[in-house]
Amino acid sequence: MPKCLKYSGGIANYEARTYPGMKRKIIVAGNWKMNVSYDEALRLTGAFGKEVSSSNNMEVVVCPPAPYIPSIVQQFEMGNQNISVGGQNCHHEQKGAYTGEVSASMLASSGAKYVIIGHSERRAQFNERNELLNKKIGTALEAGLHVIYCVGETLEERRADHTLQVIKTQVTEGIANLTSQDLEKVVIAYEPVWAIGTGETASPAQAQEVHAYIRALIATYTSAEVAAFLSILYGGSMKPANARELIAQQDVDGGLVGGASLDEHQFIAIVRSAQSFL
C-alpha cells in the first residue's frame, strides 16, 4: 500500500461536519460507468428505490449511462423515491456541431441533478486537462447542474511524494473563477487513481489527510465558511467492508462508488453505513 503523506495542516477547529449549528451534507453517489443493459439498469434502480432514499442531510445519487437518465428519473418520480440522478460527463460547450457528445443542458433537461466532471478515466483516456474541466464545470453550473469534480493522484505521483501538489493543481485550476455561490453546487471527490477499480483502498488516515488538505485549500481560495459546507467524497474501491471507517473520518463526507454501485446489496449497505453518521 502506498505510504501515508505528511500533511499536518488542515483547519484544526472545524468540528466534524458542523459549522455554527449546521451540518455538512453526506452524499453517496454511484458511478455505473459504461456498464449494465437498460433492463438491468431499471432493475437495479428499482431495488435501490425500495431500500434507500435521500433525507435532509444526506443525498443518494445514481449516475447511469446518459441514455438511461430519463427512464430512471421517471422511475424514481413514479415511485416517489427521493434519489438524485447524475450524468458521468458533459461537453464544455453549451451546444453545437459535436457529434456524439452530450451537453450539460441535455442532462439537466433529462432530469439529471448532478454531473461527474474530471473522472480519472476521462483525464487519462480522453486527455481532459484542468483547463477544459474548468470550462465544463462552468457550463454545467450554467445549465443548473450540480457538479461532482474528481481529483486524485496516480501511484507514481504518490510514490514521488507529489500527491498534495497534484491535488492542489487539480483543485485550484478546476475551480478557477468560480464564486462562493457556484461552489455551493460543487462537490469534490478525492479518488486516488491507484485505488479505482483495483480493490486497493486508501486507508482512512490517507483519505482524511488529503480531504483535510482539500478543505484547507478551499478555505484559502474562498472562505472558511465555503470550505466548511463543501462535501468532499472519497472514491476508490469503496465497499460495505470499508465504507463506515472511511466516512467516519472528519473530512470524508460520503463516497463516489464505482464497482460496488452495480450490486444493489453492496450499494444499499454503503448507503446504510453513511446514514449511521446522520
Residues in contact with ligand PEP by the rule CB under 6 A:
31, 191, 196-197, 235-238, 256-260
Nearer to ligand PEP, 4 or 124 (CB): 124
Query: What angle do helix axes 264-275 and 240-247 make, rounded to 10 degrees?
Result: 20
**Catalytic residue of the set 59, 91, 92, 119:** 119
Least Å distance between CB 27 and ligand PEP?
13
Three-class secondary structure assignment of 159-227: HCCCHHHHHHHHHHHHCCCCCHHHHCCEEEEECCHHHCCCCCCCCHHHHHHHHHHHHHHHHHHCCHHHH
Least Å distance between CB 13 and ligand PEP?
31
**Catalytic residue of the set 146, 191, 209, 211:** 191
Instruction: For residue 93, give the nearest of 83, 81, 105, 79 by alpha carbon.
Output: 105
- State the Cα–Cα distance between residues 98 and 96, nearest whole angstrom: 6
- The b-or-e profile of 129-154 (16+ CB within 10 A means b, else e) is ebebbbebbbbbbebebbbbbbbbbb
Nearer to ligand PEP, 10 or 255 (CB): 255
Nearer to ligand PEP, 93 or 263 (CB): 263
Least Å distance between CB 176 and ligand PEP?
23
Note the Cα 231 to chain centre separation in Å: 9
Nearer to ligand PEP, 89 or 216 (CB): 89
State the virtual CA torsion across 109, 113, 119, 125 in degrees, nearest 10.
Answer: -10
- State the Cα–Cα distance between residues 74 and 78, nearest whole angstrom: 6
Known active-site residue 92: no
Nearer to ligand PEP, 138 or 259 (CB): 259
Least Å distance between CB 53 and ligand PEP?
22
Closest residue to ligand PEP: CB criterion:
258
Known active-site residue 191: yes
Residues annotated catalytic, as ranges: 119, 191
